[in-house]
Structure 1
């Protein structure tokens, strides 16, 4: 018999080590998507993932996909594409546009996992300076981007999109360079995919991930790191 923890109205989670092996990482259900609960979740390596019509499901998979900043692989073709298209890349200039674009991408057989409830919740996190977006522009048109949640010095990636070839990789490249500049720890990729693996994402055990996450909480980013701005990098 599978026992799954049901959350009540308190923003408290069971230990991630209690997550199920199958489905991998399912920890709890219920609760809400309040700012306080989401902050608590990400601080402990837990994230929500569910589809329309399902209860809120909370996950902490094992193994975990992570991108150590020193492991990031930017191919010559990616750098060439950046030079060729003369992109402008910004932070937090169009958070709603980014999450709306991400919500149009089908993640499961029954459609997107980014419900209206999720969009509203992450916009509240954004308004509190906790969720952030990276936007890729060409000729004043947004062509790619990503968004995620910052806890400590870790960026917990949630979703990315491309309207042009390589545009999401461009966003990822600029995010990595921005975090390197400001002494970020690592990027939580949640689950490794072939696309993320090609960029340098590797898998670590849940215990290792939680240790890395805890270490990243020893320092926080300064306030200006995630202020709306244009990211400049050397290619």
Structure 2
């Protein structure tokens, strides 16, 4: 079980950064640090500061890995706790996402915090070296003024990894268009998408480009079905 740090932490301890309130100005201006796992590199016998190294393997370009932080904002973890917290892989298009906050996202998203928090959707694509995700909401409330797609920092999302296992049971489905959205078409009737929408199939000499959740304006329902086993058996 994690325990709060009340004094000196030995070098080598594994910690989670839970607060920056008592840190120096530069750290307080980097709220993305909160929630990260780190290893203590050095902690003097006297004092309340610790040198830590972030454990994340995929930090966005330009972000420091080593920081001097106040021990009051650290929580000690056991090794098994760290393994449970590590994601199996970075998020990618097609994964499901729940918005848990907007602290690390743009000011425009923070202005709609009450409408965004707790909303669920699908990751359409990753942006800015993987630090941001374009998320299409399943059922946005009226307070979001009809906007379905939001650029959000991945630290503000709880990601549910979705593995595209359905591709093994048949060819990749083709693409159909409806109101500017790209859908996955079914082989029996290419004017009907897997989500049930009526679409205009994109065909070149009878061949359709392959559908992927990473496509711009990809249908979230089709993307979710694409990532489910046996959903597209027999598709183009």
- Could you tell me the TM-score, scaled by structure 2's length? 0.25
- Could you tell me the TM-score, scaled by structure 1's length? 0.25
Greater relative contact order: 1 or 2 (C-alpha under 8 angstroms, separation 6 or more)? 1
Indicate the structure with greater helix content.
1
